[in-house]
Amino acid sequence: DYNCSVEFFWSPFLVKLETKINRTRALKLDQLPAMLQRTLGADVLVFNTGHWWTHTGKLRAWDHLERNGKMVEMEGEEAFNIALRAWAKWVDHSIDPSRTRVFFRSVSPEHKSVNWCYNQTFPISAGTVAPGFPKSLVTIVERNIKSMRTPVTYLNITHLSELRIDAHPSVYTITREGKPLTTEQQRQPLTYADCSHWCLPGLPDTWNVLLLDSLMRPPSNNSI
């Protein structure tokens, strides 16, 4: 009825992840993926990035970091900050705030280790959450948004989502092939329970209600 389209662009680091011919994967901290150009002219843009930055070992999506076209080594936090700065610069240069509202959705928390989602059927009561994502990275996001020229509305959903330990698919998730877990797999929650993604309908609908509410208000002045 409203000729509205919703598009989803997947780029978990915001910056460019490139696979070379020899199959090494470089995370280019100062380059944005070309597909971002396709978002120009949208009425509303909602960005986010998060726990892919914290993956280690086999789960880490990149083999090395690059900056100015050269391989670099640095701590995860510094890399995260450089990437966020590159994103912020892109937004400030490319987005026309009179045409496009920009949102940044805060980190979507996982429920692993101490607060494991398996078998949970009630939200955590406030005050007992062990944050699953480094506070230092959250601070880097907030600092970068504050320093931007473009008004960016921060959708601060991290804490309210931390409470929803019961809202993950757990052993009712699907495999990479898109199939439900077998009974045998469901009996091995340590291996198979998905405590990162969310059930739908569910918590992401709450994020959308908050997004809609923010859309009805004038943009804030990055007063995080």
Ligand X SMILES: *[C@@H]1O[C@H](CO)[C@@H](O)[C@H](O)[C@H]1NC(C)=O
Q: What is the bridge-based pairing of β-strands 44-47 and 64-67?
A: unpaired
Does residue number 149 form part of the binding site for ligand X (CB under 6 A)?
no
CA distance 81 to 104: 15
Does residue number 159 form part of the binding site for ligand X (CB under 6 A)?
yes
Cβ-count burial of 86 within 10 angstroms (0-12 exposed, 13-18 middle, 19+ buried)?
buried
Say if CB 149 and CB 217 are below 8 A apart: no
Say if CB 84 and CB 15 are below 8 A apart: no
CA distance 24 to 47: 27
Cβ-based nearer residue to ligand X, 199 or 224:
224
Q: Compute, in degrees rounded to 10, the torsion defined by CA atoms 202, 207, 211, 214.
A: 130
* Span near ligand X by CB under 6 A; candidates 18-26, 75-83, 94-102, 213-221: 18-26
* Span near ligand X by CB under 6 A; candidates 84-92, 152-160, 178-186, 207-215: 152-160
Residue 85 backbone phi and psi in degrees, to 5: -65, -40
Per DSSP, the residues of 160-196 read: HHHT-TT-S-BTT-B-TTSPBPPHHHHT-HHHH-B-S
Q: How far is the CB of 178 from ligand X (least distance, A)?
A: 26
Q: How far is the CB of 72 from ligand X (least distance, A)?
A: 12
* Span near ligand X by CB under 6 A; candidates 20-28, 29-37, 43-51, 171-179: 20-28
Cβ-based nearer residue to ligand X, 55 or 159:
159
- Candidates 42, 44, 124, 160; binder of ligand X (CB under 6 A) is 160
Q: How far is the CB of 189 from ligand X (least distance, A)?
A: 7
The tokens describing 13, both together, are 């680091």
Helix ranges (H only) for 95-127 are none
Cβ-based nearer residue to ligand X, 156 or 185:
156
Q: Which of residues 36-65 bind ligand X (CB under 6 A)?
A: none
Distance of CA 129 to the CA centre of its chain: 20
Q: How far is the CB of 59 from ligand X (least distance, A)?
A: 20
Does residue number 187 form part of the binding site for ligand X (CB under 6 A)?
no
- Candidates 20, 55, 99, 187; binder of ligand X (CB under 6 A) is 20
- Candidates 3, 68, 113, 223; binder of ligand X (CB under 6 A) is 3
Residue 37 DSSP label: G
Q: Which of residues 61-120 bind ligand X (CB under 6 A)?
A: 119
Residue ranges that bind ligand X, judged by CB under 6 A? 3, 20, 22, 24, 119, 142, 156, 159-160, 224
